Structure 1
Amino acid sequence: MRVIVIGGGIVGAGAAYHLTRCGVSTTLVDRADRGQATAAGAGVIFPWPFPGMAAEVRDFRLKAAAHYPALMAELADDGQDPTGYEVVGGISVSTDDAAADGDREALLRLAAQPGYEGIGEVTRLERGGPARRFPVLREDYSGVMVAGMARLNGRQARAALLHAAEERALRRRRGDAELIGDGTRVIGVRVGAEELRADAVVVAAGAWSAELLRPFGVELPVHPVRGQILHLAMPGRGTADWPIVRVGDRGHYMVTFAPNRVVVGATREPEAGFDHRVTGGGLHHVLSEALETAPGLAEATVVETRVGFRPAGRDGLQLLGGIESLPGVVVATGLGAEGLTYGPYQGMVAAELAMGNASETDLTPFRPDRAAAV
C-alpha cells in the first residue's frame, strides 16, 4: 500500500510515523511555510477532558491522553533522544483562595475517574507556594499543582517522529503539493513536475489544508488563528525543572525549557489571516500579561517572538476523517491551540483511516464535510 501525507507538523509527522511502523510505503510532502503551528507552539500538555464535553470528544481526548506516554516509549525504543516530551507538573495560580479550593476539588474528582490516572497527584498550594516552585511569580498567588502535566518541544517531537519514520524508509519531498484526481477519487499528489501516486492521501497541512481541497469543490471549515508567543531567557538561572504555570482567570500561561528559557503567551487573533508579522499590540499584550503574573521576568532577556497559525475549526471542533464526495482523502486538521496536545493521536487515527481501518472512536462530530451535511 502507498500513502502520501501532506504536512510536516506534529499531525503529519505522527501519521507518517504510524504508517511506516505498520510497513506502509509512505511519502511526506511539506513546503515548510512560515508560521507552522508546531514550530511556534508552547507545548502545554494537559489532554484530559473536563466535564460537560460531548461523549465523542471526551472519548477522543481520553484515548489521546493514553496515547502520549505509549508513543514516547515507542520513540525511546526506536533510539530517539530527545523526544521533546517531559512531565514537569503544572500549577493553576490565582489570588482567589476560594477559586483555588474549587479547582482542587474538581481536579481530585477528575483524577479519581477511570482514564484520568495520568493526572497524578493534586496538591493545594497556599499563598507563596507557587512562587517557591516558579521563582519569578508574584508572592500573593496561591494555586493547585497537578503532577502529570507535561511540556512538549514541538520541534524536537516532530524531528523525533520523522527521524524514526525515515529509518523505516519514509520518503520526504519539499514543495507545493497539489492533489491529483481521476474524476472519481484522489489518486495522488503533484509536487512540481513530479506526480506521486498513492492509494490514499492524508491532508494534514494545518491552516493551509483548505486550499488543497478547494479545487475539488470541497470547502473545509478551517481557518488560521495567529498566535504570537514570546521567548525570554533568564541569565544565570536554570529553568529546566520549573513547572508549567497557568493563570486560571485569564488564560495566560508560561512554560520553561532548558537551560534558561521561559515561554509566555499567547495572542489569539482569528482576524489576522496569514499575516506573519510580530505586532506592537500583540507583543505588548503578551509581555504585559507576563509581567503582571511574573514580575521577576522584568530583567529577562527577550530572545524571540514566534508566530504560528493555528488551524481552527469554525465550530470549535477538529476536522478528522474522510470526505464522502471525494474518496481517497483523509483530512486531519483543526485542532487550534491544542495541536501539540492532540496532534500525535490525531495523526495516528488518520493513518489508520488511510489504511482502511475503522477508528477506535466515533469520529462523526469531526467529519471534515460536516458543514456540507447540515
Structure 2
Amino acid sequence: MQKKIAVIGGGIVGATASYYLARSGHSVSVFDSGNGQATAAAAGIICPWLSRRRNKKWYRLVSEGAAFYDKLLADLASDGLKTDAYARSGAIILGQSADYIQEVHDRALERREQAPLIGSVAILKGSELEKAFPPLANVEQALYVGGGARVDGRELTKTLLEAAIHLGGTLHKGNVSLTMDNDGTLSVLTPDGPQKFDAVILAAGAWLPQLLRPLGYTVDVRGQKGQLIVLQTEARDPQNYPVIMPQGEIDLLPFGNGKTVIGASHENDKGYDLQPDASVTDPMLEQACTWLPHLKDEATTDIRVGTRAYTSDFSPFFGSVPGLQNCFAASGLGSSGLTSGPLIGYLLAELAQGKESSLPTEDYPITAYVKSTNR
C-alpha cells in the first residue's frame, strides 16, 4: 500500500531514505532548509576498519555502512542513474612513527577476516610509495589499504534527491516545524500550511533538538563545526589516486581533474557557526602542503562549512521517536556520517514502511538520547 511520507532533512541520511521510499512506490515529500548540512562539508573518506574505537556496535554500523555503498550504487545504476561521486580508490595511511604504521597494518589484517572489503594491505616504502602516489613528499613509509574509498557527499546527495524526484517524490526548500494536534497525531507545518503524513522521518542531523523541542523533547545532540577546503590544480591528476589519511585531524582527497579536498576541521566550540574561518583553514592548508607541496600555489575554489551532530558519548542513534506514532529519527553520526549515513537512511526507510530494521535498533537506542519532558 502506498504511503504518504515526509522526510525532513535532505543530507545523506534523508536523501537515501527518500530515494528508497520513492523506489518502493511511496509518495515522498522532502523538506530541506539547504543550510549547514554536515554532508556538504564532510571530507568523504570511507575507510572505517582502522579505527581504534572499542565500541563494537559502532564498528558494526560503520563497517556495514562502507559495504552498503555497493548496493546503493547498483540500485542507482539499475534506475539509470550512474554517478562518479564514489570511487574505491584505496587509502594511504601516514604516521609519525614506524610503530604506528605497523600497529595499523596488524589491525587491518586482523579485521580483514570479518571485512574482506578491506582488500590488499601493505606497508609501502621508496619506489613503491612513489608509484602509488607520485606527488607525495616527506614520507618514508606508509600503509596502503586497497578497500579505502572516497565520496563527494554533496554530489551523491544531489544524485539521490534527483532519483527520488524522478521516481515521483517532491523536494521543498525552506524551514518547516512540527506540531502535535489535539488527536495526538503529528503535522508538518510548511509555508503552505499544516500537512498530514502517514509517516515522518526526521533526518535533520544537528538540528534535531530544534525540531523536537516544541513538542516537549530534550535531545542529547550538539553541533560541531566542520570546514574543508577545495582546491583546483592545473595538473589533471588521475582520478584513481588513493586518498591520504595522515595521523591527526585532516585528510586529503584527490578527486581527479585536478580537484583536491582538504579537511575537515572539528570545532566543538563553534557549534552552529557557518562562517568560513581562515584562522582554521590556513593551518589546514599549510599542513597539507607538507605532504603535497604542489598544492601550495594552487587556487582555492571553495570553503565548505557544515555542522556535524554528536551525542555526549559520541554514539549514533536511530529508530522510532518515543511517544510519536509513525515518526522516526536518526542523529549523532559525527564524523562518520558519510560512512554510515546511507545505510541509516535505508534503515529508516525500512522502519517507515512498517518493516523491521536489518540492524537491531536496540543497539543504537533512540530512547537514550531523545526524551519527552511531558512525562
Q: TM-score scaled to structure 2, two decimals?
A: 0.92
**Partner of 2:331 in structure 1?**
333
TM-aligned CA deviation for residue 341 of structure 1: 1.0
**Partner of 1:56 in structure 2?**
57
Of 192-201 and 292-301, more deviation after overlay is shown by 292-301
CA-based RMSD of the aligned residues comes to 2.1
The separation in 2 between residues aligned to 1:253 and 1:55, in whole angstroms, is 24
TM-aligned CA deviation for residue 366 of structure 1: 2.6
Paired residue for 1:348, among 343, 346, 349?
A: 346
Do residues 123 (structure 1) and 122 (structure 2) align? yes
One-letter amino acid of the counterpart of residue 56, structure 1: K
Q: Is the 8 A contact 1:2 1:25 kept in 2?
A: yes
TM-aligned CA deviation for residue 295 of structure 1: 2.6
**Partner of 1:13 in structure 2?**
15
TM-aligned CA deviation for residue 31 of structure 1: 1.6
**Partner of 1:111 in structure 2?**
112
Do residues 154 (structure 1) and 153 (structure 2) align? yes
Of 50-59 and 139-148, more deviation after overlay is shown by 50-59
The separation in 1 between residues aligned to 2:129 and 2:353, in whole angstroms, is 47
**Partner of 2:171 in structure 1?**
172
Task: Classify the secondary structure of the residue corresponding to 2:94.
Answer: strand
One-letter amino acid of the counterpart of residue 260, structure 2: V
Task: Classify the secondary structure of the residue corresponding to 2:296.
Answer: helix
Question: Structure 2 matches for 1:202-213, cutoff 5 A?
Answer: 202-213=201-212
- Specify every segment of 5 or more residues in structure 2 that has no aligned partner in the other structure, as ranges: none
One-letter amino acid of the counterpart of residue 346, structure 1: I
**Residues 257 and 62 of structure 1: is their aligned pair in 2 closer, same or farther, counting only changes over 3 Å?**
closer
**Partner of 1:260 in structure 2?**
258
TM-aligned CA deviation for residue 72 of structure 1: 0.6
Q: Is the 8 A contact 1:13 1:347 kept in 2?
A: yes
TM-aligned CA deviation for residue 183 of structure 1: 4.2
The separation in 1 between residues aligned to 2:163 and 2:236, in whole angstroms, is 34
**Partner of 1:273 in structure 2?**
271
**Partner of 1:198 in structure 2?**
197
Write out per-residue CA displacement over residues 38-71 of structure 1, whole angstroms, 9 at most, x where no aligned residue: 1222211124475763443333233323311111
**Partner of 1:297 in structure 2?**
295
Of 40-49 and 104-113, more deviation after overlay is shown by 40-49
TM-aligned CA deviation for residue 127 of structure 1: 4.1
Q: Is the 8 A contact 1:189 1:196 kept in 2?
A: yes
The separation in 1 between residues aligned to 2:195 and 2:83, in whole angstroms, is 32
Do residues 70 (structure 1) and 68 (structure 2) align? no
TM-aligned CA deviation for residue 87 of structure 1: 0.8
One-letter amino acid of the counterpart of residue 173, structure 1: H
**Residues 372 and 90 of structure 1: is their aligned pair in 2 closer, same or farther, counting only changes over 3 Å?**
closer
Identity of aligned residues (%): 31
- Specify every segment of 5 or more residues in structure 1 that has no aligned partner in the other structure, as ranges: none
Task: Classify the secondary structure of the residue corresponding to 2:218.
Answer: coil
The separation in 2 between residues aligned to 1:237 and 1:169, in whole angstroms, is 38
Write out per-residue CA displacement over residues 86-123 of structure 1, whole angstroms, 9 at most, x where no aligned residue: 1100010135223222222221111122xx11111112
Q: Is the 8 A contact 2:43 2:261 kept in 1?
A: yes
Of 275-284 and 141-150, more deviation after overlay is shown by 275-284
Q: Is the 8 A contact 1:187 1:199 kept in 2?
A: no
The separation in 2 between residues aligned to 1:61 and 1:236, in whole angstroms, is 34
The separation in 2 between residues aligned to 1:251 and 1:282, in whole angstroms, is 12
Do residues 25 (structure 1) and 31 (structure 2) align? no
Q: Is the 8 A contact 1:20 1:169 kept in 2?
A: yes
Q: Is the 8 A contact 2:225 2:306 kept in 1?
A: yes
